[in-house]
Structure formats: structure tokens, C-alpha cells
Structure 1
Amino acid sequence: MGGSTPGPHAGAAPQLWRIGRASLGFLVDTFSMSRGGAGDIVDPLLLTIIVDSNLAPFNQDPELTARYATLDDPPPDELRRPVSVNAIAASLRMPYETVRRRVTRLIELGAVQATPKGVVVPAGTLHNPFYDIVATARYERMKRLYFEIKALGGLAGLDVRPPEAPRHERAPVRLANRQLSEYSLRVIDGFMRRLGDPVTGLILLEMAHANAEHLSASETAYEGPMSDDKRRPIRALTLAKRVGLPPETVRRHVAKLEQHGFCRKVEGGLLAALEQLGQGGSGEHGLMNNLTNLHRMLVRLAALGVLAFWDDEAATACAAG
């Protein structure tokens, strides 16, 4: 899909770390948006995996995917396939009882429905004012990432306007959010393979982002991982507040990260070991894997007409002055 491209590795080395830093900020921002400024990072993760499982057959049909693209068009409940709690726990490598307890709470809150074959996030959960605000914010953040990567020269060879792509008259917010969920889950899968569970990986992402969020774009516009002296440590208690988890839970995950060399204690708090971030055995390998996942998402967005919509929108705004 999306035309012939040389793939994300071709000519990618010069901007590898810059794109990696851009995607790090993007991931942390979108996970934060999914929390809605409250709650912890686990419930949004569970909802994401449930929705993705519910719509797995639907997402394989480009025509259906394009048909249900806007906020006003959520996929109907009859297209959703239930998923068992056991399957959710297995896919996230989380304890069954932890997942069962949290899913039960989501059912009691009305966000999830139980059926004889498993659980479903119904269309009503994904079609209300709160969801619309969150989905739109995530959509706008995706658009910003696209133009950031484009400015960095990271789209070389990508056909952003394939002839078979559908055309959209209204913002394809819902469609783009589904592609974001798939990308996020691939990143989380990488963390699980390296760290054993997704929550530890999300805490590491938040830590790495917090270490560098005070820096300007010009201060981060160079190749390679940032040196420790440029970054700002974060204390475990502050990190716990940022991810919405109890301090003791975060300390336990941090101890795991420290044990495996993914973070280190310094004066003033914690620093993520940037050279270890990613799915591979080295920082560069990990960033290459992340670039592959980003490229896959962008190719999919191009094939579904989203990138052309964003380019046309930007051109119209520019022409209007």
C-alpha cells in the first residue's frame, strides 16, 4: 500500500535520533491525552487493546475503514468482535487477576460491556463529548508529528498521495486514531519483549520525556542520544504523579528498569538510559525499529488518504494567508 518506497532505513541515519525524539514526545503526549488528565496509564491501555481486538476484522477491510472515518461515524456494534479477559491478559503479559479486576471496574463504569463471548467497548463509549475531545487532540498531535517528520526529511520515497487512496471531505479523526492505536500497541509490544510488561515500558517513556522536556528544539537538534548533563533528572514521586500510579508501584517498576540498565539514579532523581531505548539490543537498533513502526503507520495513513487530506488542508490554510 501507499506506492513503492525504499523503506524507513534508506538514507535514514542522518535524522535517526531526531525522528526518535519527535516520536518519543508524540507517544508520551498521546498516552497522556488518553488518560484525559486523570486516572492512571493502565485503564487507557486496556481500553486500547480491547478496542483493537474488537475491530481486528474491521481494520483489515480498507473500504469499511474509510467508511467509518469521522467522529460522526463510529463503527457499529455489530462489527465488533468480543475478546476474552484471558486473551487481554495474555496479549499484555499482565496477571489475569489484575486485568479481570480492572475490566470489571470498567464494566461497572459503563465503558465496557460484557457478553457471553467476551468484552466489547461499544460505540457509545467512543461517541460522546469526552471521547470527541480526546480523539481530536490525538488527531491534531498526529498531524503535527507528520509535519515534523516531513520537515526532518523522514518521508523520502513515501507516496503520500497514492491514486487508490480515498478522498475525505471531513477530518478523518476516527480513522487516524485507529492507526495511532495500532502503532502504540506495536511500541508496547516491543517494551514487553524487552521488559516483560507494558507498564514498565510506559513509565520509561514518561521518564525519558520528562528528562528532556525543558530543552528547546534547537538544543535537541543533533545526532545521537543527549548527554546526561543536558537532561534534568526526575524524582520517583514526581514520576508517579505523571503516570497516575501509586509511588510504591512506580518504585517497583523503576527498580526493574535500573536492574536491567534502562535507567540510572543520579543526584536529583532518575535518568532514562537513552542508549537502551527501543526494541533492539542497542540504541540505534531500537530507534531503527521505532522508525520502521512509524513508517508503517505513515504508509497506512497515506493509503487511507489521511496524509493527502493533511497536505491539502495545510495548502489551503497557507493560500488563505
Structure 2
Amino acid sequence: MNTTDHRASIAWLNSRLTLDIFRITRAHVIDDPTATVLLAAISNANTGFMDARPEMSLQYMPLGSIGDDLRRPASISSLARSLNIPRETARGKALALMELGLVEARSEGYVLPASTLTSGPVADAMKYYLASIDALLGDLGELRCFGLKPGVRLATPVHNVAGTAVRLTLAHLLRNVSHALAMATDLTLPNAYVMAAAVHLSGAHFEVGDQTPPAAFGDVRPGPVRGAAVATYLDMPLETVRRQLKKLAATGRLADTPAGYGLDLEAAPREVWEAMQDQALINTRQLVWRLKAVGALTL
């Protein structure tokens, strides 16, 4: 099989990575789905431009190597626009991040300082972020996608490449999030968070692609998922998750069946989900190319 034949698997791996990164942030940094995405968006706005070309990325490979004087502040208006959230919501979440000492306010916007990456809760979460990136690469290698082979991992010592690896991955995740929100403008970030978990746990990407999950992915069985399973996976109150799932079902985003919740391919056309899978494949190809270009992988 070529890489395109693994489109459903690549989309599933991307949803796992996205959910893992945000679950890690909620567990170690701030327990708020919207604030976790906003934190990633601030970081990307501050330093993402440093990865415009591989030769630029190579100058700032370790964590925290981009000085605060080089970081571009993220304005509330740009953050709200990129995440499709109200300005006041973005402002309130940014203030919450500032109160926790995670970001600083400047006249032009918000900055996540280099010290946040090397000490405190974000630094504590970093090993889990890197493990999630490693898992993505390992599974892509098992599938032999994008020229990767079994056994591929982040280069060691990982500290030497961690800064660039995390920056590139955050930019990749935000591209996927922005694309998904653009295709479902009525969804709030909390709605989208719960829906992403339900879609992932129900193996819906494989239903869209009419594919069987690879054995390497473990016990992935496409089919409806119970609200309790989604709540446990997200570590959120069951009633909160059930309320979100019912809203999603009422708007046709999910199907509410006696067996649980799953993707409604009649209400949400298969072509829409295929387009999302195609975009995930394109974005993942770009991520892998960039990681290869800076020597961040053991090939």
C-alpha cells in the first residue's frame, strides 16, 4: 500500500496526537479545553515564523533557545480569529494563563516566555508531549508512510531537537484544528473537543475510508462509543460530556444510537470527512518533511 491508501490511518493518528497533546496540557498545565488551545496558539504565534525554512529551524533546536526578545506577541484579535472564538473569550482565557504565570502581556499582545518551556508545569509536560510525537512517528514508520520505516523515532539526545520538534508539531496541530473549525463554523472549541474524542474512540475515520484498522493500532474497533467512555478518556464530568454529545447529536454532527454515539455519514456527508482526511495527510507529509530536513529523526 502507498501512503494515500493509509489516509484513514493517518487521520486517526492525527486525532490521537491532537487529543493527547491537549489532554496532557489539561492534566499538567491548565484544565480548560479552550485555554489549552489558546496556549498553543500563543506559542505558535510567538515563534512559528522561526520555522519558515529548515535553516532557520536549525538555529533554535533546543527547548527555550528562542529568546524573549525574538518572540512576536500574539494579539487577542488574531488569536480569536484563528480559533473562531469571541474576542472576549480569548481575552478571558489569556488573562487566566497570565494569572498562572504561563504567559506575559505586552503592549502588542501575549508572549509565552522561554522560561515557561524550561521550568514549571509546561516543562513537566514536555516529556509527555515528546512521547506523543514519538508515538506518531513510530506508527507512521510501521505503516511505511512518507518514506519512514519501522523503528523511526525522534533523534537522541532528544533535548537537542526538542524545541524544533515541539514547535513544528504544534504548528501542525493548529493547522488541523483550523481546517476542522473552518469546515464546522457552528462548533465551539469545547464542542469540537468532545466531538473529536467521540469520533476518535468510535474509529469513525476507518468507517469513512472503508478500511480496517491496522493491527499495530491495538484494540481499535469502529462502532458507536458510550458517553461514559468519552468522559473517562477526556477526564471530564459525565454529565458535561453527555450534554455536549446530545447537542452534537441534535445538530446532526453525531448519531445517537442505542449502542452509543458515532459519526452520522448521512447528516455529515462522507465527502466532507474525506476532505478532512486528505488535509490531514497533506499536513502530516509536511510535518515529516520538516522534521527530516532538520535532522530531528532517526531514519
Shorter-chain TM-score range: 0.7 to 0.9
Tell me the secondary structure at the aligned position of residue 271 of structure 2: coil
The answer as to whether partners of 1:167 and 1:305 remain within 8 angstroms in 2 is no
TM-score, length basis structure 2: 0.79
Distance between the aligned counterparts of 2:275 and 2:224, measured in 1? 25
Counterpart among 53, 60, 63 of residue 45 in structure 2: 53
Matched, 1:70 2:62: yes
> More helix per residue: 1 or 2?
2
Larger Rg: 1
TM-score, length basis structure 1: 0.74
Distance 1:15 1:230, change over 3 A: closer
The answer as to whether partners of 2:54 and 2:290 remain within 8 angstroms in 1 is no
Matched, 1:257 2:248: yes
1:189, distance to aligned residue in structure 2 (A): 0.7
Deviates more, 1:132-141 or 1:284-293: 132-141
Distance between the aligned counterparts of 2:268 and 2:167, measured in 1? 25
2:271 aligned partner: 281
Distance between the aligned counterparts of 2:96 and 2:156, measured in 1? 40
Counterpart among 172, 183, 191 of residue 194 in structure 1: 183
Distance 1:94 1:77, change over 3 A: same
CA offsets, 1:138-182, max 9 Å, x none? Answer: 222212211211221212499xxxxxxx99885411210111101
Distance between the aligned counterparts of 1:40 and 1:243, measured in 2? 11
Deviates more, 1:285-294 or 1:176-185: 285-294
* Letter of the 1:123 counterpart: A
Aligned length: 282
Equivalent residue runs for 1:221-236 within 5 Å: 221=214, 230-235=222-227
1:15, distance to aligned residue in structure 2 (A): 2.2
CA offsets, 1:49-91, max 9 Å, x none? Answer: 11111114323254442232123x4311001111211221122
CA offsets, 1:9-57, max 9 Å, x none? Answer: x943432222322332222222212223561221110111111111143
Deviates more, 1:166-175 or 1:56-65: 166-175
1:256, distance to aligned residue in structure 2 (A): 5.0
Matched, 1:220 2:220: no
The answer as to whether partners of 2:168 and 2:287 remain within 8 angstroms in 1 is yes
Root-mean-square deviation (Å): 3.6
Structure 2 residues not aligned, in runs of 5+: 150-154, 205-211
Identity of aligned residues (%): 24
Equivalent residue runs for 1:106-121 within 5 Å: 106-121=97-112
